[in-house]
């Protein structure tokens, strides 16, 4: 397999890049056509995926280079409309590559299904009854999904939460379900709905909601990446990145932007692999606020050698089966490019991309500022918006960057000038 550390990968043409990825991931000519949009998702298939279909909104699919996660080199497919995101991830991965890349561990694939019980008189007595009947509850849940059980997954345990805030007490029964390589919402919701009548018969309560929780705190991924002081610009850069992180850890205004930067990477891989971006985003932000204050999802520290160490712990409920992962042919191919065999492996790569993205943003902020790198790449979008085409776009962007004026009206002025008209 070709390594992912390819200097100047971004200077190749899209066709050359695709050839290289195809060779690495053993993609067929037909599969390459799917990625190039020559054999896209059919309207008939799209109409079966969601409702009231009238068309598509294409989002560019790029691959980040230079990634190594748990000693395995991998190109990372990223679907995003935002310029500079894929460049920043590749840049950060290049700098982390020297120290061995990223290292990720996961806590398993347990999801929570919530069953809300109201009309509760004696919550502690009802809680005891539920625990007494745990075996029956789990058995009925597992009857709903023999496939999952045959794969070693299924309902494993229950937790009973008493909620005494408000006018009358409530009970929320949590089903703890191992969803293996699936994100698991359908599997968990099916179990929660099927078991509700049994729960009502065990207690004197009335079941109301039956739904998965997206706060996947039993499905965490932890990732680490280290950056050598001398490769990232010296001790001052290390210190300034740590200072920037400290602000994100105490100030929700900054934490929101900081975490948005992390999600630039995470959501792009989640979308590329046909996973549920909303589920991951809701889980991430709730986890960032778990202490009662919204904080940075990452930590940045200095090690004994004065190098920068980044870590992150985040819920990552993604699948490699189910949802849109298999029904969307591009997502299917993104998974093939990643070469992942389990959802946990995918979770590790996604988290590494989020950590890399955060480093990319922080490094730019702590040094030259975000506009230089980001706006130089954003200039291409602005030029397209202002009416540039393939014949003049490169020259127009170069001129705007040279002028250090990457604004729409300036780019429009270049296009309307003699130079822009060629």
Ligand X SMILES: NC(=O)C1=CN([C@@H]2O[C@H](COP(=O)(O)OP(=O)(O)OC[C@H]3O[C@@H](n4cnc5c(N)ncnc54)[C@H](OP(=O)(O)O)[C@@H]3O)[C@@H](O)[C@H]2O)C=CC1
Q: Cα(69)–Cα(5) distance, rounded to whole angstroms?
A: 12
Q: Print the binding letters for residues 361-390 with ligand HMG: x by CB under 6 A, - otherwise.
A: xx-xx----x--xx--x-------------
**Contacts to ligand X from residues 322-361, by CB under 6 A:** 322-324
With CB under 5 to 8 Å by kind, the binding choice for 360 among ligand X, ligand HMG, none is ligand HMG
Examine the residue annotation and report whether 389 is marked as an active-site residue of this protein: no
Give the nearest distance from C-beta 319 to ligand X in angstroms.
Answer: 5
Give residue number: closest CB to ligand HMG. Answer: 373
Q: Cα(340)–Cα(346) distance, rounded to whole angstroms?
A: 6
Q: By CB under 6 A, which span of 85-93, 267-275, 301-309, 339-347 interacts with ligand HMG?
A: 85-93
With CB under 5 to 8 Å by kind, the binding choice for 87 among ligand HMG, ligand X, none is ligand HMG
Question: Count residues contacting ligand HMG (CB under 6 A)?
Answer: 29
Q: Print the binding letters for residues 9-38 with ligand HMG: x by CB under 6 A, - otherwise.
A: xx----------------------------
According to DSSP H, which parts of 367-406 are helical? Answer: 370-385, 393-402
The string of DSSP letters for 33-70 reads: HHHHTSS---HHHHHHHSSS--------EEEE-S-EET
Among 41, 176, 235, 321, binds ligand X (CB under 6 A): 321
214 binds ligand X (CB under 6 A): yes
Examine the residue annotation and report whether 276 is marked as an active-site residue of this protein: yes
For residue 323, report the phi and psi dihedrals to the nearest 5 degrees: 55, -140
**CB 353 within 8 Å of CB 268:** yes
With CB under 5 to 8 Å by kind, the binding choice for 220 among ligand X, ligand HMG, none is none
194 binds ligand X (CB under 6 A): no
**Contacts to ligand HMG from residues 243-282, by CB under 6 A:** 257-258, 260-261, 264
Nearest to 65 by CA among 6, 114, 14: 6
Give the nearest distance from C-beta 321 to ligand X in angstroms.
Answer: 4
**Contacts to ligand X from residues 148-187, by CB under 6 A:** 148, 151, 153, 179-187
With CB under 5 to 8 Å by kind, the binding choice for 39 among ligand X, ligand HMG, none is none
| 166 conformational bin, left if phi > 0, alpha if psi -120 to 50, beta if neither | left
Report CA torsion sign: 259, 262, 263, 266.
negative
What's the token pair of residue 203? 């207690």
142 binds ligand X (CB under 6 A): no
Range 313-324 burial, b when 16+ CB lie within 10 A, else e: bbbbbbbbebbb
Examine the residue annotation and report whether 230 is marked as an active-site residue of this protein: no
Q: Cα(422)–Cα(346) distance, rounded to whole angstroms?
A: 47
Examine the residue annotation and report whether 260 is marked as an active-site residue of this protein: yes
**CB 274 within 8 Å of CB 328:** yes
| Closer Cβ to ligand HMG, 154 or 225, answer by number | 225
Close Cβ partners of 309 (under 8 Å, ≥ 6 residues apart): 224, 225, 226, 227, 300, 301, 302, 303
| Closer Cβ to ligand HMG, 12 or 289, answer by number | 12
Close Cβ partners of 247 (under 8 Å, ≥ 6 residues apart): 254
Query: Which residues have a catalytic role annotated?
Result: 82, 260, 276, 374
Binding residues for ligand X, rule: CB under 6 A, are 145, 147-148, 151, 153, 179-187, 189, 212, 214, 276, 279, 319, 321-324
């Amino acid at each position: 397999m070709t390594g992912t550390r390819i200097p100047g990968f971004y200077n190749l043409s899209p066709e050359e890049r695709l050839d290289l990825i195809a060779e690495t991931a053993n993609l067929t000519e037909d599969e390459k056509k799917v990625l190039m949009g020559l054999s896209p998702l059919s309207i008939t298939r799209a109409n079966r995926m969601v409702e009231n279909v009238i068309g598509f909104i294409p989002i560019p699919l790029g691959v980040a280079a230079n990634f190594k996660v748990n000693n395995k080199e991998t190109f990372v497919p990223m679907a995003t409309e935002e310029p500079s995101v894929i460049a920043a991830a590749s840049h950060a991965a290049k700098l982390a590559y020297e120290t061995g890349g990223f290292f990720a561990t996961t806590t398993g694939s347990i999801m929570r299904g919530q069953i809300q019980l109201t009309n509760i008189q004696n919550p502690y007595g009802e809680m005891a009854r539920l625990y007494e009947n745990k075996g029956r509850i789990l058995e009925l849940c597992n009857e709903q999904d023999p496939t999952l059980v045959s794969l070693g997954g299924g309902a494993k345990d229950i937790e009973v939460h008493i909620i005494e805030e408000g006018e009358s007490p409530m009970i929320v029964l949590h089903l703890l379900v191992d969803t293996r390589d699936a994100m698991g919402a359908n599997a968990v919701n099916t179990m929660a709905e099927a078991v509700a009548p049994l729960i009502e018969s065990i207690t004197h309560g009335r079941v109301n909601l039956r739904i998965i929780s997206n706060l996947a705190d039993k499905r965490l991924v932890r990732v680490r990446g280290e950056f050598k002081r001398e490769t990232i610009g010296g001790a001052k850069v290390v210190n300034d990145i740590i200072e920037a992180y400290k602000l994100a850890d105490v100030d929700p205004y900054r934490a929101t932007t900081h975490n948005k930067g992390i999600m630039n990477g995470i959501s792009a891989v989640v979308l590329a692999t046909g996973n549920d971006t909303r589920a991951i985003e809701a889980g991430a932000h709730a986890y960032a606020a778990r202490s009662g204050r919204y904080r940075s999802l990452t930590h940045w520290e200095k090690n004994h050698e004065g190098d920068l160490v980044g870590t992150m712990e985040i819920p990552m409920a993604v699948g490699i089966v189910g949802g849109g992962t298999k029904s969307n042919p591009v997502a299917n191919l993104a998974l093939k490019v990643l070469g992942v065999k389990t959802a946990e492996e995918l979770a590790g790569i996604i988290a590494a991309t989020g950590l890399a993205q955060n480093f990319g943003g922080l490094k730019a902020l702590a040094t030259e500022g975000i506009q230089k790198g980001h706006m130089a790449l954003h200039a291409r979008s602005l030029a397209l918006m202002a009416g540039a085409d393939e014949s003049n776009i490169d020259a127009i962007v170069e001129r705007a960057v040279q002028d250090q004026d990457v604004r729409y009206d300036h780019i429009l002025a270049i296009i309307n000038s003699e130079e822009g008209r060629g």
